Homo-oligomer: A and B are copies of this chain.
């Protein structure tokens, strides 16, 4: 090895921020991701509900970092880490590191009910999003030609398991898509047959928001025709729908936004994990006993004020910036920095057209102004000038015409698990 070599695993918000913040640092960087693109996950639900195209919210990592001379990008699957010999093991070969950043994100899990997987779908990747879009749009198409009323109702029932921001945003977006589609495009569907149910295990939706804002979101969803079932723990999901206790909801479409679990990075390290599989790290985000290994983003378990930090983009980005600073300090031979501290600038969630809730600490709002804030924040953080422009056009178009831009059902092959 000649000189220091930083290996970053994962091109999400956390890993990408580390690489970008080190653009002027005299260090060789290799960024490894199994996909070729950075995904703007906060808007993934819009791809799933036919508002945006995959390319609108995904940018090739090579394009983002193409001007940065000290970065190499490898598209490959990491299979393990040899912490003793400082090697990242991949499908292709082993790569030696002097410092390592693991930012591999999280995936959905079904609380031990893996047999539910064929009948429901989480929303983490573009393939998930297009599969959900296909499932929703096909449900309408099939209902249009269906003559059996029970079967028609089954096709027109959409269940969302999990009342966090993703579940709420999906529910609002499906409700809008459905009402618009049933009004203009389908002639053999009675809108009264449509049913959208949001199921939450806790006693209210949007647990991470203040109660007053969650209440406003609840009212808004109910006004849009979404049924909300709180204090409800789903006991079975199968081809017919979902069940808990004696209650059954027959539904063709069941979307899962309830539980996430960290990706296997923790197992690679043989590290101490929390119940969600996240790695317990030091206050400076390094692995205990391994100052050369950082674990950040959804893969890390970091407590602040006695609560674990949520798995959201701002946490991941701030952690990435922090780690880049630590690495620069080390290059300069400086002392350890102060522990990482997350600065919460606020939480936002939309509920359909022109309505959002915003929790900006002491400043809490719900309505159109919050929605405008949401819009500006998301456009601002979306990577790439062209994507910002295209997404704005899609949104303006959708806003003024009530039409969605990406109502495609690709034929055939990516239909696994979805119809």
Contacts and interface: CB of A to CB of B under 8 A. Distances in A.
A413 B410 contact: no
A416 interface: yes
Given A36-B137, A390-B393, A185 B409 contact: no
A60 B410 contact: no
B397 A386 contact: yes
A372 interface: no
A73 B393 CA distance: 28
A54 B127 contact: no
Interface string A38-55: 000000000000000111
A198 interface: no
Nearest 9 A/B pairs, CB to CB: A62-B185, A75-B141, A414-B414, A55-B406, A53-B53, A53-B55, A36-B409, A60-B407, A92-B145
26 contacts: A34-B411, A36-B137, A36-B407, A36-B408, A37-B407, A53-B56, A54-B408, A55-B408, A58-B408, A62-B186, A63-B185, A66-B185, A74-B144, A75-B138, A75-B142, A75-B145, A75-B409, A76-B145, A125-B411, A125-B412, A127-B412, A130-B410, A386-B405, A390-B394, A413-B413, A413-B416
Interface in A132-168: 137-138, 141-142, 144-147
Interface string A108-143: 000000000000000001110011000001100110
Nearest to A71: B187
Interface string A18-49: 00000000000000001111000000000000
A122 B213 CA distance: 52
A78 to B, nearest CB: 12
A145 B75 CA distance: 8
A34 B413 CA distance: 14
A411 B145 contact: no
Tell me how many chains of this kind the complex includes: 2
Given A127-B410, A127-B412, 20 more contacts: A35-B409, A36-B137, A36-B408, A53-B56, A55-B406, A62-B181, A62-B184, A62-B185, A66-B184, A74-B144, A75-B141, A75-B142, A75-B145, A93-B145, A126-B408, A126-B410, A126-B411, A127-B413, A386-B397, A410-B414
A395 to B, nearest CB: 12
A215 interface: no
B63 A403 contact: yes
A408 B60 contact: yes
A190 interface: no
A211 interface: no
Nearest to A386: B397
A75 B36 contact: no
A84 B7 CA distance: 70
A323 to B, nearest CB: 24
A38 to B, nearest CB: 11
A72 interface: yes
Given A144-B74, A145-B75, A145-B76, A54 B410 contact: yes
Contacts of A63: 185, 403, 407
A231 interface: no
A62 B37 CA distance: 32
A75 B144 CA distance: 9
A207 interface: no
Nearest to A61: B185
A273 to B, nearest CB: 25
